[in-house]
Structure 1
Amino acid sequence: MTDAIKIDVWSDIACPWCYIGKRNLESGLAAASADDDAPEVEVTFHSFELSPDTPVDFDGDELDFLATHKGMPRDQVAQMLERVTGVAAEAGLEYRFDLLKHTNTVKAHELLHFAKEQGLQHELKERLMSAYFTEGRHLGRVDELVVLGAEVGLDADAARAALETGSYTDAVRADQAQARAYGINGVPFFVIDGQYGVSGAQPADAFAQIVRQLWAERAADPSDAESVA
């Protein structure tokens, strides 16, 4: 039996291009799954903080954050957000930067590691990104994260305990250390079978092509199927 293709994704729930990249990856894999010899793929998400110095309660909106913390003119920020909103719409996502609450994301990453142990990482990743970009939920607060976690099936008390004790902080830092080892300095970043790096929110067709090509190569030479990851 040919081993599944492993895709490791470094991303931040507060990264607009990461949500677009996630949706494009899913669309590409869905297209490839319709093939007669459909590739088997395992996707794992890893932590990356774009702005680790961001306070939990940022006083201002996304325009304020990018303008003041990144030194960008407000009109340039507005144009950039308009552009990414359009790209998101093409991927089927409705971004609401007018509602978005910029915050520190380390606790969200900790909860994702807890969810991974419960087999619910993918469900939580989707729920958090939707809550952040389309609903204006405050993902820096433990209470909000516990509620969202419960919505996808996590035990609320166990989730709260994991967040309040910082049980998964080391797991977040390990992901970040691995990103540095790979030389990743921007997200989304996709590491395929521990060998190929793909940067940015690539189109769905690109992801479909990559997994189809790798799967065909494995069928031709099964000895190449072992991942170095």
Structure 2
Amino acid sequence: MTQTLDVDIFSDIACPWCYIGKRRFEAALEQLSFAEHINVRWHSYQLDPQLPATYPGTEKDYLMESKGLDDNSIDHMLAQVTEHAAEVGLTYDFDRLKVANSFHSHRLLHAAATVGKSGEMKESLLAGHFCDGLDIGTDDDLRVMADRAGLPSDLTESVLRDKSAFAADVRDDIKTAQQLQVSGVPFFVLGQKYGLAGAQPTETFVEVLTRVWEESNPSPITLLNDDPSGQACGPDGCD
């Protein structure tokens, strides 16, 4: 019987490499004959839980303040990540990006999972944050992203109205990440057994997913040779 391979992905909406890693992972799935048997589960992680709902400054301001980086270093870093994003078809716009606390967007991600829309919600949040200049810290923009993902409006409104809704699920994910000693995202857990850190190249995803899949679904015994000189007995007698 064919098994299902669970892939648990820990990532933050505010992580540019998480979106790039998502695209590279998806490109790997397109190359796998068993992709339909892979069950992707998105999990929450926060790079900076201390951020206000919406930060009063640009991405460069935030990086200068929180990381102590100088202007030239930040320009180089953002240009580099923008280039990598473009390689997988993403158009990052750091000039329009709204720096914000990602906690409430993660609550919507968990809500989306209850209606089978976690993948769509994750995509919409990342696209809204990095490409479209939407603010993941405001209810109005979260409504836009939820609508794009196809969430029922009553579900969206209930989550935005009740700030405690799915908050425990977000915290549980963060606690699990700590227990797994996840120190950066994206982080992939394959088959609840193997960890893979970072936005790996597509080729690496193909290789490791294939290896873990074959371990979980071993092939029938392969005959090494059909040499007739090796005598044997069968139902009709012996050679």
In the comparison of the two structures, how many residue pairs are matched?
A: 219
**Counterpart in 2 of 1:178?**
176
Q: Is contact 2:29–2:35 with CA below 8 Å preserved after alignment? A: no
Give the aligned residue type for 1:172.
V
Pick the structure with greater CA Rg: 2
> Deviations 1:5-56 (Å, cap 9, x if unpaired)?
11100000110000000110000011113xxx66721111100011111112
Return the match for 2:189 from 165, 188, 191. 191
The structure-2 alpha-carbon separation of the partners of 1:147 and 1:38, relative to structure 1 and needing over 3 Å to count, comes to: closer
**Counterpart in 2 of 1:73?**
70
The residue correspondences of 1:47-58 to structure 2 (distance < 5 A) are 47-58=44-55
* 1: CA distance, partners of 2:86 / 2:144: 27
* 1: CA distance, partners of 2:59 / 2:105: 18
**Counterpart in 1 of 2:237?**
none
**Counterpart in 2 of 1:88?**
85
Return the match for 2:41 from 39, 44, 61. 44
Unaligned stretches of 5+ in structure 2?
221-239
* 2: CA distance, partners of 1:215 / 1:106: 33
* 2: CA distance, partners of 1:158 / 1:40: 28
* 2: CA distance, partners of 1:159 / 1:56: 18
SS of equivalent to 2:39: strand
The residue correspondences of 1:80-229 to structure 2 (distance < 5 A) are 80-165=77-162, 166-220=164-218
SS of equivalent to 1:32: coil
Q: Is contact 1:24–1:204 with CA below 8 Å preserved after alignment? A: yes
Cα displacement (A) at 1:152: 2.0
TM-score (normalizing by structure 2)? 0.88
**Counterpart in 1 of 2:22?**
22
CA RMSD between the two structures = 1.5
Q: Is contact 1:39–1:215 with CA below 8 Å preserved after alignment? A: no
Which is richer in helix? 1
Cα displacement (A) at 1:217: 2.6
Give the aligned residue type for 1:136.
G
> Deviations 1:147-169 (Å, cap 9, x if unpaired)?
22122221223212123212100
* 1: CA distance, partners of 2:8 / 2:97: 27
Q: Which runs of 4+ in 1 moved over 6 A?
A: none
> Deviations 1:188-213 (Å, cap 9, x if unpaired)?
00011111110000011111111222
Cα displacement (A) at 1:185: 1.3
Instruction: Please say which of residues 11-20 and 204-213 is displaced more in the overlay.
Output: 204-213
**Counterpart in 1 of 2:228?**
none
Unaligned stretches of 5+ in structure 1?
223-229
**Counterpart in 1 of 2:13?**
13
Query: Whose RCO is larger (CA < 8 A, sep 6+)?
Result: 1
Q: Is contact 2:82–2:92 with CA below 8 Å preserved after alignment? A: yes
